[in-house]
Amino acid sequence: MSVHETYPYLLVTEKRGKLKCWSTSGVREIDRGPTVDYGGQGGLGDVVFQPRMANFPHVYLSWVEAGQSDTRGAVVGRGVLQHPCMIWTPPPAVIWRQTPKTTGRGHYSHRLAISPDGAYLFVASGERQKMTPAQDLTNNLGKILRLNLDGTPAAGNPFADKGGVAAEIWSYGHRNILGLQFDAQGRLWALEHGPAGGDELNLVKPGQNYGWPLVSDGDHYDGRAIPRNSTRPDLAQPAISWNPVIAPGDFIFYSGKMWPEWKGQALIAALGSEGLVRVRIDGEKASEQARYPLGKRIRAIREAPDGSLYVLEDGEGGRLLRLSKA
């Protein structure tokens, strides 16, 4: 879900492959979108506008693409969307791919964020439930990538001297990132699903190893223990972790326009805890401040220009809600 910075409309992706545009005049389905490989956790993924482009901005879209021999992987495409809520001109063309494509239908992540200066595209690439690729710099699974806006590796990435896909990598040791956002200071944060316990909010720094699957504050689903983050101080530590999990869907850093007391805090859309979770940031650490139950699994959250909140429910029949101060 992405809110346009100039015009009063937002884009909503549906996993089966539909891209819909909401505006004050109603909801419109946008034609000529990509063909997606739908199933499990896969399908149409994230969508972001290129910032500071009021007329016909580039739109970045992620989805799952089928490969050979029952494999698949996430891709990112870039296209131009006519205003308001019109067809693609041209349709999104693939500029980045998960490498390699693998079997299974989980942990694509494929969240997108554009740096505050508008110069770089950051992509969250999940480890596809294979675990060990997250520690292997010869692939781009279980990583956060820093790319130029055309999808090529950005100059100055920490592993550029290794060549190949390693030149894309900004950080590694990630599991399944479902939130990727910059704060007001320009720092990048990632919100990550843990296994049975161990959801994490991480401050992302270049070249850092975030530990998966070597450590976690949760355990494997079959009950096997995983060493805790604290046992490896040489690895990047989460700003906050949850056990039991909140099963995050997405998050934002809030401006404070409608609720000034929340300025700079993270507002998390939570699937497992069925509501919103508010988290305060103190330097490089974080602490949970409150939970707001909504009685539904919440997939996504975005801030409207006036500071109210767009909240998207998960699953069949999910509603787009707007929350404002009473």
| Residue of 107, 110, 174, 193 marked catalytic | 107
* Catalytic residue list contains 193: no
Q: Which of 86, 107, 106 is nearest to 33 (CA)?
A: 86
Query: Strand 240-242 and strand 188-193: pairing?
Result: unpaired
Sign of the dihedral through C-alpha 111, 112, 115, 121: positive
DSSP tag of 164: G
- Strands, E assignment, 151-307: 169-172, 176-182, 188-193, 199-204, 240-242, 248-253, 266-270, 275-282, 285-293, 298-303
Residue owning tokens 């929340």: 262
Candidates 145, 149, 136, 135; CA nearest to 167 is 145
Torsion of CA 123, 124, 129, 130, to 10 degrees: 60
Which residues have a Cβ under 8 Å from the Cβ of 113 and sit 6 or more positions away? 48, 121, 122, 180, 181, 182, 188
Listing DSSP states for 110-149 in one string gives EEEEE-TTS-EEEEEE--TT--GGGG-TTS-TTEEEEEET
Cβ-contact 164, 157 below 8 angstroms: no
Q: Strands 309-313 and 298-303, how do they pair? A: antiparallel
Positions marked catalytic? 107
